[in-house]
Amino acid sequence: MNSMFYGCSSLKELYLNNLNTNNVTDMRSKFSLCESLKVLNLNNFKTLNVTNINNMFSFCFSLEQIYLSNFNTNNVTDMSYMFFKCLSLKDLNLNNFNTNNVTNMSYMFSYCLSLKQLDFNNIIINNKTNLDLMFLECSNELKMKYKTQYKNIKEKAF
């Protein structure tokens, strides 16, 4: 399922309530370059077997709301560039994300210029996790929150 909707630049709405994702392992670039997409509800996605979600929503410039409350990230190892250049995204709730097995979070939120509220309270970072420029060009408020709250986030993440 990787790159399934890649480059659908005119796509504004998408309803995926009945899409069976039970056996999917790779969702990288699934919605990348869906430049006009404003709202995306993926609460029904079954992601237990997924290991790669890098670039999943990158370059979704118009994306304002995304619903991921049932996303199971227990087996995910790569979240790099996941929300890269989601310019219109204002708040994001990733509290249900399990990052125990993630080894790459580089550029994950970079250039999310409008992102003011990021709930990612269960984030677990180990010494092997690549955090390079995870928050590049994000608001200073957001950067300060994560610098203060998570002492183990390395300076190179900002």
State the CB neighbour count (10 A cutoff) for residue 139. 15
Predicted local distance difference test score (pLDDT) of residue 24: 92
Domains in the chain (CATH in brackets) are: 1-158 (3.80.10)
The predicted-structure confidence for 45-57, as pLDDT tens digits, reads as follows 889 999 999 999 9
Burial bucket for residue 116 (CB in 10 Å: 0-12, 13-18, 19+): middle
Place of tokens 């994306």: 63
Phi, psi of 40 (to 5 degrees): -140, 120
Task: Provide the mean pLDDT of the chain.
Answer: 90
pTM: 0.92
What band does 16 get if pLDDT is binned at 50, 70 and 90? confident
Please give the Cα distance from 105 to 62 (Å, whole number): 22
The predicted-structure confidence for 60-87, as pLDDT tens digits, reads as follows 999 999 999 888 999 999 999 999 999 9
